[in-house]
Structure 1
Amino acid sequence: MDGKVKYYEGCGQEGPIRCIFLCEFHPTAGPKITCQVPENYISKDIFDTVSHYIIPKVQLQRCTLTVTLLGSKILGFPVRIDNKKYARNAYYFNLCFVCDAWARTVHLEPLVKKLTEYLLSMELETEWLSKQSISGEAKALGGLMRQVMQDINSRRMCTLT
């Protein structure tokens, strides 16, 4: 964006996606960021401040949520999978986009939902997310998130295969 122009919340301008992260509710550690691109964009302190909004109670699952704080806008679509194979009989995750607080993000809501549903189907079919979380190795997920962020920011579209 132009350094001379002052943007403000509600200005109606679209901004770039600054970060994409996946967080989950770990059965013993609680809410945590599993993977983020770029790394450490959202600090642990900021995440801890908003984690109960990003990994919300059942009533807000599968709803688009937006939290604005400290110059950033976090957009997510939290999901809970009920199944006895998971610790505590459920797996909670949320894929979030981070933009500037002034940015218009309504056009990203369908993308966050669609990408979350893509990850949900991969989890239901192959346990792709939970296996990466357990192993602590999220290279494939990080690569996918990096591709999405770069493609959306540069071409305004993304195709995953």
Structure 2
Amino acid sequence: MDGNSKYYEGCGQEGPIRCIFLCEFHPTAGPKITCQVPENYISKEIFDTVSHYIIPKVQLQRCTLTVTILGLKILGFPVRIDNKKYARNAYYFNLCFVCDAWARTVHLEPLVKKLTEYLLSMELESEWLLKQSVSGDAKELGQLMRQVMQDINHRRMCTLTVG
């Protein structure tokens, strides 16, 4: 390790959220990123490498998952909604935070879970996520994710209003 390097994996320091993205299991395309802020922070190659862990099998649904790859730490809370209205009778999604691999992220786990549950309730009430995905225009979702990232990084808190 470089003597001047202040940050390293396991150093115990909190770092900023570098990216927030929402991914889903598309019925024909498979796992894909629906929206991310900033755009293209997670490349298709990195996502394809970890997509099986980010959109996992049923046993890991509704569990906090952390994947570290290529200097990035991806934190998520994957969810599956079973309903006949969805293609393949289920809708899988995961809201993920991306931080530096060295960053301590345990304090973000309750936040990613709470935000996922917020999106889950919006989906159950009005199909909010599915509509954004089907339209191909996730502008509202992108604005929400941008607000969350900026507020958490700068104010260490966030209040959301949608509607």
Same fold by TM (over 0.5)?
A: yes
Give the Cα–Cα distance (whole angstroms) in 2 for the partners of residues 50 and 98 of structure 1. Answer: 13
Deviation of the 1:67 alpha carbon: 0.1
CA deviations over 1:2-48 (Å, ceiling 9, x no partner): 99543111100000000000000000000000000000000000000
For structure 2, the 5+ residue unaligned runs are: none
C-alpha separation in 1, matches of 2:2 and 2:155: 19
Quick one: distance in 2 between partners of 1:3 and 1:119? 43
Instruction: Give the whole-Å Cα distance in 1 for the aligned partners of 2:109 and 2:69.
Output: 18
Q: Deviations over 1:58-107 (max 9, x none)?
A: 00000000000000000000000000000000000000000000000000
1:103-147 superposed Cα distances (whole Å, 9 cap, x missing partner): 000000000000000000000000000011001010000000000
User: Normalised by the size of structure 2, how large is the TM-score?
Assistant: 0.96
Taking only the aligned residue pairs, the percentage that are identical comes to 93
SS at the partner of 1:28?
A: coil
Number of corresponding residues: 161
* 1:145 aligned onto 2:145: yes
Distance in 2, matches of 1:20 and 1:51, equals: 15
Task: Name 1:154's counterpart in structure 2.
Answer: 154
Structure 1 distance, partners of 2:6, 2:70, is: 17
Change (3 A) 1:81 1:111: same
Report the Cα offset of residue 53 of structure 1.
0.1
Is there any run of 5+ residues in structure 1 with no aligned partner, and where? none
Q: Distance in 1 between matches of 2:84 and 2:67?
A: 31
The aligned residue for residue 106 of structure 2 is 106
Output the CA distance in 1 between the equivalents of 2:91 and 2:72.
27
Query: Could you say what the CA RMSD is over the residues aligned between the two structures, in angstroms?
Result: 2.0
Taking the aligned partners of 2:127 and 2:141, their CA distance within structure 1 comes to 13
Offset at residue 148 of structure 1 (A)? 0.1
Runs of 4+ residues deviating >3 angstroms = 1-5
SS of the equivalent of 1:21 reads strand
Q: What SS class does the counterpart of residue 66 from structure 1 fall into?
A: strand
Give TM-score, length-normalised by structure 1.
0.97
